[in-house]
Amino acid sequence: MRGMVTMAAAIALAGVALPAAAQAPQLRLDRSEYFEAPGVNWLVFSNTNEGLFADAKISGVELIQQGIRTATNGDVRLAATPGQWDPAAQLVSRRVDKVAGVIEAVMAYSDFRYTVRAERRGGAVVLSVILGQALPAAMAGKAGLNLEFVPSAYFHHSFLADGRPGTFPLHPASGMVATAERNLASGRSDGPGAEPLPFASGRTLVLSPEDAARHVTITSSDGTLQLFDGRNQAQNGWFVVRQLLPAGRTGTVVQWTLEAKSVPGWLRPPVIAHSQLGYAPDGAKVATIELDRDDRRRLPVKLFRVEANGTKAAVPLPAPKPWGEYLRYRYLQADFSSVTRPGTYLLQYGDTTTAPFPIAPGLYDTAWHPASDVYLPVAMDHVAVNEAYRVWHGDAHRDDARQAPVNHEHIDLYRQGPTTDTKFAPGEHIPGLNVGGWLDAGDFDIRTQTQYHVIRLLADSMERWGLDRDTTWVDWNSRRVELHVPDGTPDLLQQVRHGSIQLLAQFDAVGHAIHGIVEPDVGQYTHLGDAASKTDGLVYDKALAPYQQRFDRDGGRSGTPDDRWAFTSKASALNYGSAAALAAAARVFKGRDDAFAAAALARAQKVWADEHSHAPDTFRHGNTTGGPLEEEEFAAAVELLAATRDQRYASRVAELYPKMAEDFDGNAWAVLKALPFMPPAFRDTVRPAAQAWNERATAMLKANPFGVPITTGGWAGSGAVMQFGLNAYLLNQAFPDLVDTAPVTRALDFIHGHHPAHDLSLVSGVGTRSKEVAYGSNRADFSYIAGGVVPGILILKPDYPENREDWPFFWGENEYVVPQSAMYIALVNAAKELEGKR
């Protein structure tokens, strides 16, 4: 009896038995287009699916509780735990009535339409699904109202289902039921599928009653709520609360009352945005304090120098200056540029204290090493990569590649046109493609645009700064790579070779650049772990039975069609981009390996000549067929001009420049690289664009507290910030009277932690505290790859900056991409050069 009383008391104290008015302050809908109370925001279709994938986890009804987004995808879905390729409804319209306290979204699938209505009711939101017509018979038992909760927020927490207690599983262990249909969420593309069974159900679900930061109560007015674990099908699945829509009814068919625990007077803890890498003694030093917009306290910013004996000596600072509001936060800024004494320092504001950071010369000397020493080698395809006791991956994709089928659109931005544009039939093996290249992003495809961008960036860094660091051993014959073992060859030169041999192989195999080489099906696309285990490494032979293997003196063959596909439709933009990279590679190999340099340059010149002998091939799809044609041709002209000094290329640079000026920010690198090889008059032509760029850069100081471009799309903007910094460096070199070097420092400080949302460095392993949970091929391990750069701070509409460190599967925030590490190497060395000139 005593135990029963204790349980009842605990439930009452948790707020289950209390009326809604006693649980939380009333929600408001006045200053933003979402419901809010202290520590609680309910967003209602502020964000919607972008169309390519339906599991970006940024859509529908969303909950931000005590500053952390814990729930999303509140909408009608056709599966209990929908995955990346499951259908999602499209937004038809959205209406916000602040006076009535109502937000409505009209949504549509191909065969039915519905309204999601959210109404403020005291401290709760009443969420309704309204049907004008009864659910189609085919949707009965499939369509249901879902709301997803990120698992990492509920690890080590409990729940109540109609008062029955339970704890959230750390690892998925739900019962499963076999289905005859293909399982889209899991990625399995053949054979029977399976769906998880709910691990709890009831009319009322209470999540984490013991923790006000996660305490949510969901009550159905008429029906049963079920709680599923989507991780049973895919590691990126979430906990899902779901109620099926009833058949044969119209009007309000499902209604939930949502109550998230609000804490009167709650304020988000301050964030002290600063560089985790540290600062040069004579460099600019600005810390930006990010505050809850209702936090009106004016506390001092304190700086401490940490002495060798452990004591902390206060360093006088002026009072921080108000910057104003940006997005949902209020900002103060503290300038401590006057502090020049080398040492270890801490910043403090109220109860918030930063990790230690150095003020010292030479910090940029080594900051780029993890990207060069670790990230780029780990990304190498067609080799085995080892680091001491750890195997990063085996010799992957020895069976590349089969010709992609015609008129086929792939699941990830690749498409084959109506012909192969090669001598190979669909499904036929294309010899010679199983060499070189970097695995793209957190996936396992070789995207040609990635290859040529990275080659140009690395070659440029070698030319400008003579980067000859050697810590990586590469054996080209055995296809083996060993990290932290010098072999007498500069590492970046090896990387340029590795990317270039893939481009050369494409021309040798089919006569032109291809879109890339990518997994043939969903099952392989979702593969995590060792890239070498994704295929059997044996060329497919249709004469063999499935899983049958045959070995002879020429190697092996397999009856398993797991070989990746090569997408080969001609695109002149890809040819030009590849020519630009090969011309750049030729320059850095000249005098080191003249035969390779000559082969690369000859191919680049042949591509240029071939492209100018016929009308351009303009096939385009996604982001795999090159940039705008004129921009790719311009880049090729610039790189060939630098390699040959041939004035034919200079003439084409001059002819194409007006088009480049229309997007100067995107083309400044190529434009400014051409200056030394162009007549003096060309510099005068570019000068107005440089002046306009500087005006835009100056305006950014007023646009946000960090003075850099902050993008607002579904992929965050670290790349845009680094490009901004590189443009500033190049413009300062060309027009020092117009553009100063401050944007270079601002860009690097942003990447190193001086940004919204938190203060982590966006480069794993660089800075005192950096991204340690990221979206690489090892993302299921909640780990990182040193030197990888994540996309960074994603801006969710209307005003929420986010970068999660507890959940790696947000690709738009956390997915490493190879070009960003190459850009980072360049930007750090630019800053290193500028530091040496001060």
CATH number at residue 350: 2.60.40.10
- In the chain, what is the straight-line distance between the N-terminal and C-terminal CA atoms, in Å? 77
Burial 492-516 (b: 16+ CB within 10 A, else e): bbbbbbbbbbbbbbbbebbebbbbb
Residue 149: inside a domain = yes
Q: Supply 432's token pair.
A: 């010679």
Q: What is the pLDDT of residue 49?
A: 82
Pair (311, 376) in one structural domain: no
Pair (390, 338) in one structural domain: no
Pair (738, 763) in one structural domain: yes
| Residues 381/394, Cβ–Cβ less than 8 Å | no
Q: Which of 369, 440, 451 is nearest to 775 (CA)?
A: 440
Here the CATH number for the domain that contains residue 239 is: 2.70.98
- The DSSP string of 305-370 is EEPTTS-EEEE--PPPEEEEEETTEEEEEEE-TT----EEEEEEETTEEPPPEEE-TTTHHHHTHH
Helix (H, G, I), strand (E, B) or coil at 437: coil
Largest CA distance in the chain: 95
Pair (208, 69) in one structural domain: yes
Spatial separation of the C-alpha atoms in residues 609 and 649, rounded to whole Å: 11
Query: Which of 260, 281, 310 is the last residue before a domain boundary?
Result: 260
Pair (411, 469) in one structural domain: yes
Residue 633: inside a domain = no
The count of structural domains within the chain is 4
Name the DSSP class of 235.
T
Query: Which of 361, 396, 424 is the last residue before a domain boundary?
Result: 361
Place of tokens 């003020």: 359
Q: What is the pLDDT of residue 817?
A: 96
Q: Which of 569, 513, 554, 565 is nearest to 401 (CA)?
A: 565
Domain of 711 in residue numbering reads as 683-838
Q: Which of 367, 158, 341 is nearest to 829 (CA)?
A: 367
Q: Supply 471's token pair.
A: 């810590």
| Residues 697/743, Cβ–Cβ less than 8 Å | yes
Pair (700, 730) in one structural domain: yes
Residue 377: inside a domain = yes
Pair (85, 41) in one structural domain: yes
CA angle 770, 772, 773 (to 5 degrees): 135
Query: Which of 260, 284, 315 is the last residue before a domain boundary?
Result: 260
Sign of dihedral through CA atoms 445, 446, 449, 451? positive
Residue 670: inside a domain = no
Q: Reading across the β-sheet that carries 321-326, which strands appear in turn?
A: 271-273, 286-292, 329-335, 321-326
Here the CATH number for the domain that contains residue 442 is: 1.50.10.10
Spatial separation of the C-alpha atoms in residues 249 and 271, rounded to whole Å: 50
565-567/402-403 β-pairing: parallel
Spatial separation of the C-alpha atoms in residues 130 and 255, rounded to whole Å: 9
Residue 641: inside a domain = no
Residue 623: inside a domain = no
* pLDDT averages per 10-residue partition of the chain, 838 residues: 32 35 75 95 93 80 98 97 91 97 97 98 97 97 98 98 98 90 53 86 98 97 97 95 97 98 94 98 97 94 97 96 97 97 98 98 98 98 98 96 96 95 98 96 92 98 98 97 98 98 98 97 89 94 94 88 97 98 98 98 98 97 96 98 98 98 97 97 98 98 98 95 98 97 98 98 98 95 97 97 97 96 98 90
Residue 833: inside a domain = yes
Spatial separation of the C-alpha atoms in residues 255 and 729, rounded to whole Å: 57
Pair (522, 441) in one structural domain: yes
Spatial separation of the C-alpha atoms in residues 220 and 202, rounded to whole Å: 9
Helix (H, G, I), strand (E, B) or coil at 210: coil
Q: Position 235: which residue type?
A: Q
Q: What is the pLDDT of residue 52?
A: 61
- Does an H or E element contain 90, and which? strand 90-97
| Residues 505/492, Cβ–Cβ less than 8 Å | no
Pair (590, 503) in one structural domain: yes
**pTM recorded for the entire structure:** 0.95
Q: Supply 238's token pair.
A: 């979430």
Cis status of the peptide bond prior to 401, with omega within 30 of 0 = yes
| Residues 413/747, Cβ–Cβ less than 8 Å | no
Query: Beta strands of 237-328 (E only): which ranges?
Result: 239-244, 251-260, 271-273, 286-292, 301-306, 312-315, 321-326
Spatial separation of the C-alpha atoms in residues 257 and 508, rounded to whole Å: 63
Pair (596, 734) in one structural domain: no
CB-based contacts of 259: which residues, under 8 Å, 6+ apart?
20, 23, 24, 123, 124, 125, 216, 217, 218, 219
Q: Which of 201, 179, 177, 203 is nearest to 191 (CA)?
A: 179
Burial class (CB in 10 A: 0-12, 13-18, 19+), 785: buried
Helix (H, G, I), strand (E, B) or coil at 181: coil
Pair (173, 289) in one structural domain: no
CA angle 438, 440, 446 (to 5 degrees): 65
Spatial separation of the C-alpha atoms in residues 521 and 523, rounded to whole Å: 6
| Residues 509/502, Cβ–Cβ less than 8 Å | no
Pair (598, 725) in one structural domain: no
Helix (H, G, I), strand (E, B) or coil at 28: strand
Residue 646: inside a domain = no
